[in-house]
Amino acid sequence: MVVILIAVAAALLLVRRRHLRERFGPEYERTVERADSRMAGERELRSREKRHDSLDIRPLQSSVRDRYSRDWTNVQGEFVDRPEDAVHDADRLVTSLMHECGYPTEGFEQQLEDLSVEHGRTLEHYRAAHDIEALSIRHKATTEQLRGAMVHYRALFDELLSDGGQARHARA
């Protein structure tokens, strides 16, 4: 009987671990590596899921998506003459889109945690863009780095714009 209970517990643990890996993508390994243990990392990820489930993530109306698409086109056009300004504007636009979708925007680390639940595969883009944006504030980013930041911001922007909160609802 004890052996069966241990086997069932192990199977449940593996199912939960697989669920977290599939849901969080590369963010699973990153979180587990930074935690004191695999169990602590997985506890952190489950905590993120719980917080995320309490958020009011909502689909965007088509008129809102169209407006954000136009705004992104304008930011991209700005890059030619003012690349640093364009990167700052891209950062603000992504943050605004996150807010429009229902994500809190109170701080970068919290944004990462909240986004990780549904957008774990694009978080590295967001981190990279944010790092370059920080360099550009100090006027230390090259034009090529700024171009890269725009590409990185675009990855998350496109995912948020196309998803519009629907991934959560599809899984619920």
Q: Using CA atoms in the order 10, 16, 21, 23, what is the torsion angle rounded to 10 degrees?
A: 170
The mean per-residue pLDDT over the stretch 12-20 comes to 86
Q: Which of 76-80, 85-89, 120-124 has the lowest mean pLDDT?
A: 120-124
pLDDT of 169 over the 70 cut = no
Give me the mean pLDDT over the 3-30 stretch. 85
User: At CA 24, angle to CA 23 and CA 29, rounded to 5?
Assistant: 135
Residue 41: the pLDDT is 95
- Distance in angstroms (rounded) separating the CA atoms of residues 123 and 155: 9
**Mean pLDDT lowest among 31-35, 101-105, 117-121, 164-168:** 164-168
Percent of the chain with pLDDT over 70: 95
Greatest alpha-carbon pair distance for the chain in Å reads 72
pTM score > 0.85 for this model? no
Q: Provide the b/e sequence for 46-62 (b: ≥16 CB within 10 Å).
A: eebbeebeeeebebbee
Shortest CA distance to 79 belongs to which of 138, 26, 144?
Answer: 144
